[in-house]
A = this chain, B = another copy of it.
Amino acid sequence: MAFETTLPGRYFYDPEIFAREQSCLFGQMWTCVGRADALPNAGDFQTAEFAGESVLIVRGRDDELRAFLNVCRHRGARLSLEPCGNTGPAIQCVYHAWSYALDGRLIGAPNIARDESLDRDNLGLVPVHLQVWEGLIWLSLADDPPPVTAQLEPALLDRFGELEKFERYGVGSLAVGKSITYEIDANWKLVVENFMECYHCAPIHPELTSLLPEFRQGTSYQGIVGQGTAFADEIDAFTLSGQGERAMLPGLLPSDARLYYGFVLWPNLFVNLLPDHVILHTLTPLGPERSRVVCDWLFTPEEIARPGFDPADTVAVFDITNRQDWDVCERTQLGMRSRAFVNGGLYVTNEQHIAGFRDLVLERLGERV
């Protein structure tokens, strides 16, 4: 049987294909854009780039998080240029001072308040579907999307065979101890594909494979359902030094003590589960050949509050690994326009499972699988 082939090269640089992905894939699926705990109080907001839109996410006086297109309904001005902040009692456009309640209703339009022509009920901010899952904010621009769990749970079942194994990590109860943002000169799909296979781990990740020696065999994600990757015998913790004595996450079983689990929640979240912390990579396509990854290292709030909390030794492992990965993604991007890649390349033995991601992309684009 022949190996599966990758997408043809043009899928990794063509602006027209990128635009269709933005509308048909990111514009239809639930996409992870941030953390609910970043917005604790009424009026707290953040903006997110998502499917070609700037979206304003704001916590209401009723404590609900809501999302809106970051566009004034009057003349189209961007409401907030800031990545985050607090709106105060209302969301006000600086241009003509139209103001909106935190639930999106138009509540003020100077000088035309009594104008009968102003169809105020239809001039609220344009809402974007928002759901919080495990503390993460997911958005959808679909007309009538299913619950976010309908998208995520099948992927969890594929990975674990059950939901409980993932749920006991209590990701939603954790907080960010460290966050690093990376920009990468590569198409977002190369970044996903890179995370999905460990065939490259032996060649480029000496630090990671010294902690997780099974990865030298080139298999990871596509391992047996439910199976994690064991720590090296000689290490005590998932740190660059191998030393450490952080408490296990509450709710874990003894059998979780020395295992790593990694997996992708399509389209844009990479999850890394460890006994004492969790690492989440949130991926944003910025252009056909440019992507952003925000990497968050999560710990229990108690751990972060502990005097002298310092995650540096832990953070170093995936910070180094991330940089090694982005380097090869950028090298791969450089080959996409070659006549050698017009028909794509190969997913070999340890990469056959990436074909599932390739097929998701094609299906969302309405192309043959």
Contacts and interface: CB of A to CB of B under 8 A. Distances in A.
Nearest to A55: B338
B334 A78 contact: yes
Contacts of A110: 199, 202-203, 218
A235 interface: no
A74 interface: yes
- Identical subunits present: 3
A349 B75 contact: no
A362 interface: no
Given A76-B9, A338-B71, A96 B349 contact: no
Interface stretch (A167-175, A268-276, A304-312, A340-348): A340-348
A349 B115 contact: yes
Contacts of A70: 335, 338
A337 interface: yes
Interface in A188-228: 193, 199-200, 202-204, 217-218
Given A111-B217, A338-B53, A340-B126, A75 B345 contact: yes
A126 to B, nearest CB: 5
Contacts of A182: none
Nearest to A348: B112
Given A96-B199, A115-B348, A218-B111, A338 B77 contact: no
Interface in A65-122: 69-78, 81, 94-97, 109-112, 115, 117-119
A179 interface: no
A74 B345 CA distance: 5
Of residues A77, A81, A115, which shows the largest number of chain B Cβ atoms within 10 Å of its Cβ?
A77
Contacts of A78: 331-332, 334-335
A339 interface: yes
Contact of A348 (B1, B74, B346): B74
Contacts of A109: 348
A276 to B, nearest CB: 31
A203 B95 contact: yes
B345 A111 contact: no
A350 interface: yes
Interface in A117-164: 117-119, 123, 126, 141
13 contacts: A2-B117, A69-B340, A74-B346, A75-B345, A75-B346, A76-B335, A78-B335, A110-B218, A115-B349, A118-B348, A126-B339, A126-B340, A141-B339
Interface of A: 1-3, 6, 9, 52-54, 69-78, 81, 94-97, 109-112, 115, 117-119, 123, 126, 141, 193, 199-200, 202-204, 217-218, 328, 331-332, 334-341, 344-346, 348-350
